[in-house]
Amino acid sequence: MNKTGAYLVRFALEQIGVKYTFGIPGVHNTEIYDELNKSELITPMLVTHEGGASFMADAISRTSESIGCCVIVPAAGTTHAMSGIGESYLDGIPTLIISGGIRTDSGRAYQLHALNQINLVQEITKAAYLVNKHEDIVPTLYEAYQTAISGEPGPVFVEIPVNLQLFKGEISNLPELELNVSNPTIDPSKIKKAVDILLEAKNPTINVGWGAVDALKYTVKIAEKLIAPVSTTLQGKSAFPNSHPLSTGVGFGASSKPASRNAFSKSDAMLAVGVRFSELGTGSYGIKKPENLIHIDINPKVFNANYKTVLSIEADAVDALKAISEELESRDWNGPREMKALSEQIKKDETKYLNEWLKDKKKDLVSPGHFFKALQKLTNPNAKVVVDDGKHTFLAAELFKVNQSRQFISPTDFNCMGYCVPAAIATKLANPDNEVIAIVGDGAFMMTCMELVTASANNIAPMVFVFHDGELGQISQLQAVPLKYKTCSVIGNLNVEGVALAVGAHYLQMYNDEQIESKIKEAIQVSSEGKPVIIDVNIDYTKKTMLTKGVLSTNLKRFSFKEKVRFISRALKRRIVG
């Protein structure tokens, strides 16, 4: 049979189950877009920038059962999209990136967009393919999909030359999708050994990340059986119910809240699942080496990379935690630990810390503590929260509780500014019945705010809370302590209302603490009517998060005595002399 390459792309994506594609049509992919327009299963979405497209694809994979997919032009489209591709790669999120390509049948040099894209993207993808003939299009896309979702997930790039899209080619058949995705076989003896270690410990603890986000129910069972406190990574904040009596919050070292630091201080065995002990996850490696560390991950490269284990188990988190839960239930064990004492201490520490953020209400600023308390009270318990990179991220992590899997979406190890707005749009697109709360600093908002045109044009209605202080808040605070000067971190006063007018969004201003509840209620109402809403939050950033304080302290301790004296002397001199 004879089929155009564009038709074959559409056919393959329909079999894979792609529901949305994100990108911009150009001379090298218009045939694909024309085919997608005919599909009853796939909706092609026009974006304002391919960076937004790749962030949207990432969010689709995080918040729905469909894989996120970009359809982009080569060269500039690919380089624009690389921020989101890199985010998916370092965060372990499966996405498909389909790029048009220059003609391979003309024999001409210096074509428009001529670039070796495979070399360009191979450092930030699990695999990259250049298709050379019609009969390879469908099998290659199937292979790309399987690669993206197998093992530790990630993005896969496929380039399809424009001549294959335009013209018909002979193919023998249209193959069906046959996936062969199998998780590593778990050694039962390792599960028994893990349980032995945990039961023998006096103070076992649990740390879970995004890799364990779909194993929440088993983590809860294990924690309750062991009476073990549970912390999460930032990305994995929704891998354990934040309101559970054994939840201590994000992290467990110097950069974590007191509830975590206290609950983990005497840990003599740790079950770590779906975590990498990365720089962000450990507060710049500011944690004490976990004793009797049991590390479970589907990627064996993470084992012993930063902290030595006593037991490493290569496994899918759901399979491993299910097996551990079942093994625990089979044991006739009633240990000396009691839920009441531990949970009461966690609650006491948590309440004390939260109360530090709930001082008298301000008349000229919005206090983070009062903001997040009201947001928690007024929004639906299944609301999805999307953040960006910045001070607001750590405020949300510390002050807002989520209790369902995949409810908190954050750019993490790639840590790319500009993620929030497009990701929130895609999250709302994939979850129209859920409230979607976007929390973004004004610096990150400026990077991708125009993507809200996409939301307005398609009646996609996230609530975008812009924490507006005129600075790159996290960096300016890090500069202020040792350097005094805020070099290139003061961004000026963005006219957020002007942005709302430009993109067709409803605008609200939240000036002080007295306005918090009324503005949140109004935002919820506007969003429910199908219109995106931007809330301009006059945020008070004077109080530092634990992450800011912890990272500064952790890194200063690593300096030699001579360098400590130099840095402290410089800071004092700048304050005295000016």
Q: Where are the domains of the chain?
A: 2-170, 188-347, 357-547
Assess whether the region 2-170 and the region 188-347 belong to the same CATH fold. yes
Residue 478 has pLDDT above 80, yes or no: no
Between CA 304 and CA 300 the distance in angstroms is 9
Domain spanning 2-170, CATH architecture: 3-Layer(aba) Sandwich (3.40)
Range of lowest pLDDT (124-128, 389-393, 541-545, 564-568): 564-568
pLDDT band at 559 (very low <50, low <70, confident <90, very high): confident
Residue whose token pair is 């697109």: 429
CA 162 to chain centre: 33
Fold for the domain defined by 188-347: Rossmann fold (3.40.50)
pLDDT band at 578 (very low <50, low <70, confident <90, very high): low
pLDDT digits (tens, 9 = 90+) for 302-361: 999 999 999 999 999 999 999 999 999 999 877 777 889 999 999 999 999 999 999 889
- Give 488's contacts (C-beta < 8 A, 6+ positions apart): none
The chain-wide mean pLDDT, for the chain, equals 94
Range of lowest pLDDT (121-125, 188-192, 247-251, 548-552): 548-552
Between CA 23 and CA 20 the distance in angstroms is 10
Between CA 290 and CA 292 the distance in angstroms is 6
Between CA 307 and CA 288 the distance in angstroms is 10
3-state DSSP call for residue 4?
Answer: strand
3-state DSSP call for residue 334?
Answer: coil
What class has domain 357-547?
A: alpha beta
Other beta carbons within 10 Å of 301: 10
Which of residues 576 and 362 earns the better pLDDT score? Answer: 362
pLDDT digits (tens, 9 = 90+) for 404-432: 999 999 999 998 999 999 999 999 999 99
pLDDT band at 499 (very low <50, low <70, confident <90, very high): very high
Amino acid identity of residue 336, one-letter, is P
Q: Sort residue 370 into left (φ over 0), alpha (ψ -120 to 50) or beta.
A: alpha
Query: If you count them, how many residues does the chain have?
Result: 578
Residue whose token pair is 């609301």: 383
Say if CB 103 and CB 144 are below 8 A apart.
no
User: What pTM did the predictor assign?
Assistant: 0.95
